[in-house]
Amino acid sequence: MTDRRLWSYKEIAAHIGVQTDTVRTYRKHGMLPAPDLTEGGKPYWFADTIRTWVAERPGNRSRRDQKG
C-alpha cells in the first residue's frame, strides 16, 4: 500500500526529528528530493517519497539501530 499523504516541511521535520528550518536548509542545499507537488508556492512531498529518501540517505541509520 502506498502512502500518498502530502507532507510539508513541518511533517518531514517531525518524521526525522529535526527543526523545520533544518528541512528548509536541506532543500536549499539540494539534499531533499524534488517536491511531488507545489501549491501556492509551497512544496509538498508524498509521505512515501520522504520515507524512501530517509532510508537511502548516506550515513543515516534508522532510529531502531541507534537505540541498540
3-state DSSP call for residue 41? coil
Q: Which residue has the higher pLDDT, 38 or 68?
A: 38
Q: Which residue has the higher pLDDT, 22 or 59?
A: 22
Q: State the pLDDT at residue 66.
A: 46
**pTM of the complete model beyond 0.75:** yes
Percent pLDDT > 70 in the chain is 85
Burial of 12 (0-12, 13-18, 19+ CB in 10 A): buried
Q: State the pLDDT at residue 13.
A: 98
Which residue's C-alpha cell is 499523504?
A: 5
**Gap between the Cα atoms of 48 and 59, Å rounded:** 20
